[in-house]
Structure 1
């Protein structure tokens, strides 16, 4: 610590006004925040491995020269065991996502935006960062290769698989491990593999932009690895939908730097690295949990097992013995209990496809409306003139959708159509040739279909749609009539039509 303060004093010309130790992560490095009399801060680092420190110092200077968002190393001791770097603040992406994570992966739009910003920046680190990089400075090795893959797979075997006491054939498993390692390293790559790309290693600056730290374990390697590492982190609880969105963001950002493979090839390669990363993580959890008895890692095993279970359901991996063994692994009693627990709500109800709503356990049991299960559904569709007001709802439900047709081309402006309505062939031909009303109704149909389907599921009895235009004669009549026919044709439900200003009522009977 004394030597670190000397380095700070030598760099700034004054002793620090305050020194605060920062909580460390998984490494043996120690971090301190130095503050001067004006409140300006710098981070001081003390490491135990010169080679590891050298890798970070070299990579940081290299990335900073390429204008990548990383901390800048501003001073280094002669032995490279201590150095100073710019302060990126106190908020990591992991901290910023805390509420969404604690809510079981129910991330807000702002939290999702942070994730998308981060994943869009990753290809720049990987592709731009690799330009001119001297890989010999990487620690502990310059490149991702078969030996490193086999090391991690055997780490999984000895630290997680064997402690479960599952019976398996070591030679057959080893043969599949070698096939797996060969496939993972089959494609040549010139990208920077971050290796420890996770939310804790991303800092959010005051402008809300991601900056990257702790990349000292990086090396030359496939870009799929970091994407898999980030999105399938067991504790992050990203939904399938959110993962798909983030993979899409990454894939499109990657196009800015390289000629990307086809989507199918990309997804197939990514799935291999997701499986590898999952086994790698289970190996680490096994060692830290089963052997070192650290509660956090033991508690993290269920989420990793769930990731593995979902992967095996894809049934796409060409390693028959290894996959068969993993399928037996997730059926062990301790892991089956994990699956049952994850599928049960806090009120004891099983969540399955027969439920209308798939509640989150934190929501507790749902209450239901007195109108549930009364059915059958009857839909009422109105056309009207805005000059005479929106139709009243006589059902007591307060009314439903009201659509404004006045943005579309009006046949009523043309003499041949002034005495006709939206039910007459010349008006229908005019509207459909023009096409605006068809585009308008495409969106209406999507909303109406979703609403009708849910009301039918719940057994509700009444739903109302109203279409208004200037005179309630052309566009609104056409739209109301076509929605009514669409719903009756598609769902076979009773639809009552009221063209209010035309004095026309009709019923499309239920089938």
Structure 2
């Protein structure tokens, strides 16, 4: 913080300044807005790696040399651990196209910005390629076999292993080897690869896109950035919008390279798959392990993107992996639609199985709510006559109510939830999750979830009831 203050004061000649932390996203880099009395605000950056900082500075210089709009680095600390740059304000392309992302129908203004953004991409890729000394790139100079395998293993260990999918590692690695060869087979495709070209990394200022967070750039295929942008999990682009954006990209690409749309799309699908596997690894690490909500929210969307690509004839086992029923927990979880956020409190009630998919994900981002373990209640599933029934059936309900223990359990639940609703409603909170779990997610948890939904029907709340193991 002291180094940023010194840099700002030396650059602006201001005697004092105010430094305000900005929200962090996926990386560990820290950003600050620095303001003074008589100078424009600037952005201060404190990195975790000298080499990464130097990469950003060098790439930003290459952007400037080919007239790509990006933040300008103004001053760097002696130890190269921090620097200040121009302030592009807070409006990202991701935020600007909010209405289109939520509805799936993009306005003419939103589409114009999207086309303007992707039209810059060939200029970035081929223009920067001629200016950049790739030896400065961090953590490596080019997308090579080691880099590809790192991303594929990222998916395997930070996503597949984390959610508990049983895999044949020999068969999976065989398909990884095939995919790596496909990704790396054409060296003549290699230009500057932005690496994370997506709408969160584009700022909009005066209706013009400005490009940020390119410090991970390196030499690689131009297909990768197209896949990254058009298949961003939360972008919600229709096939028609994607096709038109590809047309805009190819029209600008013709300045540098001639390729038919059919050939382009045929090869692009492998990079879409590769990118989606890489981001699922990131969502696993940042979301499932580090518990950052917006990464968790993107998992069903990335799985849907992959589902539209499958199967791949050359990748038989990987195609089989994505048919695994253990993905169903993530595929069927729907993100709460924030385009029409209810004014009333929404109570999300779900039943689940501890042995199968486990505790459901609270997609509200609040990180709160209740999880009730129903396994202490006597289990009708032990008896053959109830095995094919569920907690919705009268025979099961009668069994559970017979000795009274489930009613004592539920009365305690009702007391807690009633008080919570009173407080949440007064504070104008909009979401409360209540999850009931049992061994199979079929009898006890279903009965309790149904009972709570029935109890709350006269409350001034919206009830969303879901049984994760009933189809």
Provide TM-score, normalisation by structure 2: 0.67
Provide the residue aligned with 2:227 in structure 1. 228
For 1:235, what is the secondary structure of its paired residue?
coil
Provide the residue aligned with 1:424 in structure 2. none
Provide the residue aligned with 2:282 in structure 1. 284
Provide the residue aligned with 1:251 in structure 2. 250
325, 332, 338: which one aligns with 1:337: 332
Label 1:195 to 1:167 Cα distance change in 2 as closer, same or farther (>3 A).
same
- The 5-angstrom pairing of residues 97-136 of structure 1 reads 97-103=97-103, 105-136=104-135
Provide the residue aligned with 2:143 in structure 1. 144
Partner Cα separation in structure 2 for residue 89 and residue 293 of structure 1: 28
Partner Cα separation in structure 2 for residue 278 and residue 124 of structure 1: 24
Matched, 1:318 2:314: yes
Partner Cα separation in structure 1 for residue 315 and residue 205 of structure 2: 44
What is the deviation of 1:76?
1.0
What is the deviation of 1:70?
1.2
Provide the residue aligned with 2:203 in structure 1. 203
Provide the residue aligned with 2:179 in structure 1. 180
- The 5-angstrom pairing of residues 42-81 of structure 1 reads 42-81=42-81
What is the deviation of 1:330?
6.2
Matched, 1:271 2:266: no
Q: Is the 8 A contact 2:28 2:47 kept in 1?
A: yes
Partner Cα separation in structure 2 for residue 83 and residue 335 of structure 1: 40
What is the deviation of 1:100?
2.0
Partner Cα separation in structure 2 for residue 82 and residue 316 of structure 1: 45
Partner Cα separation in structure 2 for residue 159 and residue 132 of structure 1: 36
**What's the RMSD between the two structures over aligned residues?**
2.2
What is the deviation of 1:107?
1.6
Provide the residue aligned with 1:32 in structure 2. 32
Matched, 1:216 2:215: yes
Label 1:161 to 1:13 Cα distance change in 2 as closer, same or farther (>3 A).
same
What is the deviation of 1:69?
1.0
Q: After superposition, what is the alpha-carbon deviation per residue over 1:12-69, rounded to whole angstroms, capped at 9, x for unaligned?
A: 2223454333223222222222233335222221212111111111111222122221
- The 5-angstrom pairing of residues 470-489 of structure 1 reads none
Partner Cα separation in structure 2 for residue 329 and residue 254 of structure 1: 39
Provide the residue aligned with 2:84 in structure 1. 84
What is the deviation of 1:321?
2.1
- The 5-angstrom pairing of residues 394-409 of structure 1 reads none
- The structure showing larger relative contact order (alpha-carbon pairs under 8 Å, at least 6 residues apart) is 2
For 2:91, what is the secondary structure of its paired residue?
coil
Q: After superposition, what is the alpha-carbon deviation per residue over 1:117-141, rounded to whole angstroms, capped at 9, x for unaligned?
A: 0010111111101113110000000
294, 297, 319: which one aligns with 1:296: 294
Label 1:168 to 1:255 Cα distance change in 2 as closer, same or farther (>3 A).
same
Label 1:77 to 1:163 Cα distance change in 2 as closer, same or farther (>3 A).
closer
Label 1:302 to 1:64 Cα distance change in 2 as closer, same or farther (>3 A).
same
Q: Is the 8 A contact 1:76 1:83 kept in 2?
A: yes
Label 1:190 to 1:165 Cα distance change in 2 as closer, same or farther (>3 A).
closer
Q: Is the 8 A contact 2:119 2:249 kept in 1?
A: yes
Unaligned runs of 5+ in 1: 343-511
Provide TM-score, normalisation by structure 1: 0.62
What is the deviation of 1:293?
3.3
Unaligned runs of 5+ in 2: 338-471
Provide the residue aligned with 1:396 in structure 2. none
Label 1:294 to 1:10 Cα distance change in 2 as closer, same or farther (>3 A).
closer
Matched, 1:23 2:23: yes
Partner Cα separation in structure 1 for residue 267 and residue 287 of structure 2: 30
Partner Cα separation in structure 1 for residue 53 and residue 331 of structure 2: 43
Partner Cα separation in structure 1 for residue 66 and residue 157 of structure 2: 41
Q: Is the 8 A contact 1:309 1:330 kept in 2?
A: no
Q: Is the 8 A contact 2:138 2:216 kept in 1?
A: yes
Label 1:293 to 1:23 Cα distance change in 2 as closer, same or farther (>3 A).
closer
Partner Cα separation in structure 2 for residue 69 and residue 294 of structure 1: 30
What is the deviation of 1:160?
1.8
Partner Cα separation in structure 2 for residue 272 and residue 157 of structure 1: 17
Bigger Cα Rg: 1
Partner Cα separation in structure 1 for residue 230 and residue 120 of structure 2: 14
Q: After superposition, what is the alpha-carbon deviation per residue over 1:278-319, rounded to whole angstroms, capped at 9, x for unaligned?
A: 11111222223333333332222111111111111xx45422
Provide the residue aligned with 1:377 in structure 2. none
Provide the residue aligned with 1:387 in structure 2. none
Partner Cα separation in structure 1 for residue 145 and residue 238 of structure 2: 31
For 1:102, what is the secondary structure of its paired residue?
helix
Label 1:78 to 1:39 Cα distance change in 2 as closer, same or farther (>3 A).
closer
Q: After superposition, what is the alpha-carbon deviation per residue over 1:156-202, rounded to whole angstroms, capped at 9, x for unaligned?
A: 11222234443332111111101110110111134111111111111
For 1:234, what is the secondary structure of its paired residue?
coil
Q: After superposition, what is the alpha-carbon deviation per residue over 1:437-470, rounded to whole angstroms, capped at 9, x for unaligned?
A: xxxxxxxxxxxxxxxxxxxxxxxxxxxxxxxxxx
Q: After superposition, what is the alpha-carbon deviation per residue over 1:67-90, rounded to whole angstroms, capped at 9, x for unaligned?
A: 221111111111111111112222
Number of residue pairs matched? Answer: 336
What is the deviation of 1:94?
1.3
